[in-house]
Structure 1
Amino acid sequence: MKSGLLLPLCLLLPACALFHRAPRPVHAPPEEAARVQFPLDLPADAQTLPAGVVTAMQLALDDFRPLDLKPHKGATEEELCLYQRESYDVTAAPGPEGVTFVQITLKPQLCEKQGPLMDMGATYAVDVKGRRILAVQH
């Protein structure tokens, strides 16, 4: 009886890989969170971004530099810089038929330790309602 159950279980095990959950941001421990003081109101220079634009940017960034992406062993200082999301600027613009174009570009001279870097960004066409990337141009 035990061997009769083993085969179906082994066949179903790979199906668990289909239920991959996107990585969630790490939260600070409660002691650290308790030290954060929120302002009564945000500063005058705060920016309001439409949620659809933020969603398009998030989808593009998640594809371009996933949160769980780690540098390879022995990465140079320049390569470590290129792995960081903070090394890039993100620009978004509305397109036709509900498409949002998202351009990700390397911040000028930030990671350039050994000369200029070329083609370190990408432009995405994002379907926000469908939460999917339609096309990528490198």
Structure 2
Amino acid sequence: MTRGLLLLLCLMLPACALFQRSSRPPRAPPEEAARVRFPLDLPADTRTTLSAGLVTAMELALADFLPLDVTPHKGATEEERCLYQRESYDVAAAPGPEGITFVQITLRPGVCEKKDPILDMGATYAVDVAGRRILAVQH
């Protein structure tokens, strides 16, 4: 009986890989995508260029701070729902020593506050971009 159970477990283990969440964002249906018109070039006066290393550090920090699949609790207030939206935050990044990139996530002033100001909503991350990992977080 134990040998059969062990064999069944060994056969089922690779199936667990099928239930992993995709790391790619959802895409619009083809008919909606067909309506998008790309410019020949991005407008110089409004474009922002970031190094891929900074973007990677920001992605890792944001994925930890506010994962895309996290949603507000049932009965959340408008202010609480606002805090669950990535658009409510500003993200700044700067290279540090020894390959570390520091990423600071702060609540945009006046975005979610309806009555009283929200204090201490954000974090600073130390990110190892080459190793694709978060080294430390300061709240």
Match of 2:38 in 1: 38
Q: For 1:22 and 1:128, locate their aligned partners in 2 and report how far apart those are by CA, in whole Å.
A: 21
Match of 1:64 in 2: 65
Match of 2:89 in 1: 88
TM-score of the superposed pair, with normalisation by structure 2? 0.88
Question: Runs of 5+ in structure 2 lacking a partner?
Answer: none
CA change 1:103–1:31 in 2 (3 A) is same
CA change 1:36–1:134 in 2 (3 A) is same
- What amino acid does structure 1 have at the position aligned with 2:108? K
Match of 1:9 in 2: 8
- How many residues align structurally? 136
Match of 2:101 in 1: 100
TM-score of the superposed pair, with normalisation by structure 1? 0.89
| 8 A contact 1:23–1:68 mirrored in 2 | no
Match of 1:29 in 2: 29
Aligned-partner SS, 1:97 = helix
The offset of 1:114, in angstroms, is 2.3
- What amino acid does structure 2 have at the position aligned with 1:63? D
Q: For 2:133 and 2:76, locate their aligned partners in 1 and report how far apart those are by CA, in whole Å.
A: 31
| 8 A contact 1:99–1:125 mirrored in 2 | yes
Structure 1 segments, 4+ long, off by >6 Å, are none
Question: Runs of 5+ in structure 1 lacking a partner?
Answer: none
